[in-house]
Amino acid sequence: MAEPVVTIAVDGPAASGKGTLARRLADHFGLNHLDTGGLYRAVAVRVLRQGGDPADEASGETAAQNLETQDLEAPNLRAEEVGQAASIVSAHPKVRAALLIYQRDFAATPPGAVLDGRDIGTVVCPEAGAKIYLDASLETRAKRRVKELRLRGVESIESRVLQEMQDRDARDSGRAVAPLKAAEDALTMDTTDLSPDEVFDRALSYIAARLE
């Protein structure tokens, strides 16, 4: 008999806590973890490295089709400007199509996976056994990102981080293909006033009930 595959979708905007939650859930359940934002970031890094324009769909499609594992190790993968460029390349339908098969294959590999991103519960894995959508106020998310950057030795101006995040949210939510939004059957959680442990505990109770 085929091994059962468990899929957990975690979606939300930047710094909503989805990466932290997805990693903890993957550890807890012994599942694989895929940070799908990293794929779009790696596509953006490839386009920028080749002197291309993230707004050009053909450059993005070629970069997505030629993506290699080592692209996910790019030292500037987490940089804010790469996040912006990733948000631009991710609006191209051909870039999304090129990355879709990889994400679905990853999810289908036993024992299953926790995938975090923007469209996991709605487009990539609409059949996921559990779907979680995290959000938090823009101010809180900007503060978290500034703190995270500081821990990496990067000083940043909070008002600028906030503005860039707002631009990115608008682009990611407003695009025609697979926009950022909660699946209708997702557990939605506002993490503004919650600790990572509280988010994890609530997610665990919900998943336990869903996967029973």
Give the nearer residue to ligand DC in terms of CB position, either 46 or 168: 168
Residue in 9, 14, 134, 146 binding ligand DC, rule: CB under 6 A: 14
Residue in 33, 92, 144, 168 binding ligand DC, rule: CB under 6 A: 168
Q: Is 172 in the site for ligand DC (CB under 6 A)?
A: yes
Check: CB of residue 86 under 8 Å from CB of residue 172.
no
Give the nearer residue to ligand DC in terms of CB position, either 2 or 101: 101
Site residues for ligand DC, 92-121, by CB under 6 A, read 117-119
Give the nearer residue to ligand DC in terms of CB position, either 78 or 202: 78
Query: Which two structure tokens, joined as six digits, stand for 33?
Result: 């973890």
Give the nearer residue to ligand DC in terms of CB position, either 125 or 207: 125
Least distance in angstroms from the C-beta of 59 to ligand DC: 16
Q: Is 33 in the site for ligand DC (CB under 6 A)?
A: no
Residue in 9, 16, 31, 40 binding ligand DC, rule: CB under 6 A: 40
Q: Using H for helix, E for strand and C for coil, what is the string for 128-194?
A: CCEEEEEECCHHHHHHHHHHHHHHCCCCCCHHHHHHHHHHHHHHHHHCCCCCCCCCCCCEEEECCCC
Q: Is 43 in the site for ligand DC (CB under 6 A)?
A: no
Give the nearer residue to ligand DC in terms of CB position, either 60 or 117: 117
- Report the greatest alpha carbon distance in the chain: 55
End-to-end CA distance of the chain: 20
- 10 Å CB burial of residue 69 (0-12, 13-18, 19+) is exposed
DSSP state of 74: -
Query: Which two structure tokens, joined as six digits, stand for 52?
Result: 């291309």
List contacts with ligand DC (CB under 6 A).
14, 36-37, 40-41, 83, 86-87, 90, 117-119, 168, 172
